[in-house]
Amino acid sequence: MNAHRHEAEGNGAVVTPRLLGPAEIRDLAQLLDVTPTKKLGQNFVHDANTVRRIVQTAGVERGETVLEIGPGLGSLTLGLLEAGASVIAVEIDRRLAEQLPHTVRIMQPGTELHVVHDDALRVTELPGEPVRLVANLPYNVSVPVLLHLLVHFPSLRSGIVMVQAEVGHRLAAEPGSKIYGAPSVKAAWYGRWRIAGQVSRMVFWPVPNVDSVLVGFERADVPGTEAERIATFAIIDAAFQQRRKMLRQALSGVLGGSSAAATSVLARAGIAPESRGEQLTMDDFLRIARAAR
Ligand code: SAM
């Protein structure tokens, strides 16, 4: 890479920047002949202030292992390394995965990076035990990627992810709100979620046609066994597939095959059969799964 060199203030010395700006993003994309694809959600951040804000919001600590999904050209990776983290980065695009160690060697030599060239939806082993997830997620798969990582990597205790605003608000939604849905309840299985900031679409190349937010999570102890989670998630899916219907109808397929059978399971769980999925907490859904056993 032809890393852009900037003249340091006053003394005429040249320094290689530690983070990627518009010039470096343009150079790297040219070098790799990368045309960002929508299919892989490739929108690259070219603003160092945004990167530093994400790293700071995530509370990254020196020496800890951070998992990044979709490092792309390395914008956020370099921010995490600058903060002293050891980074494991999972990238599906081979050209980007191969280039990243070179970029890091030039811009931040001596830092610790492991690149895994794989699909984040399939990865089940990592070269280390990350405690924190920090990522600008590919938007079309952000929820399935998050749920996959939370199932397979219990070492992840907290995280900050950048996602499409609508998805972020859904993840952090409380029961009773219009946007509360299956992702909100499933996410709540793993801990507490919050909106941690807005991100302007102007910091990306190419500029996306949606707004973005930062979503934070803190993991809590899971409330049930893995078998209970699977049963609970199936009930959540059924409840929100027909979210306007009363639960005794929406859940008839998964609770005994009839509305009468569903009513009796719901009664055992202490849930009104006339209620709707959007009113229930994750604990309510778990109680239904347990009553159905
Ligand atoms: N982190 C970079 C940044 O902030 O500039 C790039 C973020 S871009 C929104 C998403 C990245 O995820 C792209 O590099 C894309 O190639 C990668 N990606 C898309 N689908 C993926 C998947 N299933 N597994 C791993 N990486 C994926």
* Residue 189, domain CATH: 3.40.50.150
Q: Are strands 132-136 and 158-164 parallel, antiparallel or unpaired?
A: parallel
Q: Ligand 1 within 6 A of 43 CB? A: yes
CATH number at residue 241: 1.10.8.100
Ligand 1: nearest atom to the Cα of 121:
23
Residue with tokens 């937010």: 213
Residues 31 and 96 in one domain: yes
Q: Which amino acid is at 200?
A: S
Domain for residue 31, yes or no? yes
Q: Whose CA is nearest to atom 14 of ligand 1?
A: 72
The full 3-state SS of 172-215, as one line of letters, equals CCCCCCCCCCHHHHHHHHHEEEEEEEEECHHHEECCCCCCEEEE
**pLDDT of 283:** 98
**pLDDT of 99:** 98
Domain for residue 284, yes or no? yes
**pLDDT of 14:** 63
Domain for residue 84, yes or no? yes
Rg (CA), the chain: 22
Which residues of the chain fall short of a pLDDT of 50?
3, 7-9
Domain-terminating residue out of 175, 202, 219: 219
Domain-terminating residue out of 196, 219, 242: 219
Residues 160 and 274 in one domain: no
Residues 177 and 272 in one domain: no
Range of the domain at 202: 6-219
Ligand 1: nearest atom to the Cα of 20:
5
Count how many domains the chain has.
2
Domain-terminating residue out of 189, 204, 219: 219
Who's near 91: CB < 8 A, 6+ residues apart? 70, 71, 72, 97, 100, 115, 116, 117, 118
pLDDT digits (tens, 9 = 90+) for 153-208: 999 999 999 999 999 999 999 999 999 999 999 999 999 999 999 999 999 999 99
Binding positions: 43, 45, 70, 91, 119, 136
> How deeply is 47 buried, as exposed, middle or buried, from its count of CB atoms within 10 A (0-12, 13-18, 19+)?
buried
How much is the pTM? Answer: 0.94
Domain for residue 251, yes or no? yes
Residues 256 and 112 in one domain: no
**pLDDT of 17:** 79
Ligand 1, residues 32, 45, 92, 115: which to mutate, most atoms within 8 A of Cβ?
92
**pLDDT of 3:** 47
- How many beta carbons lie within 10 A of that of residue 175, not counting itself? 15
* Of residues 65, 177, 160, the one with CA closest to residue 114: 65
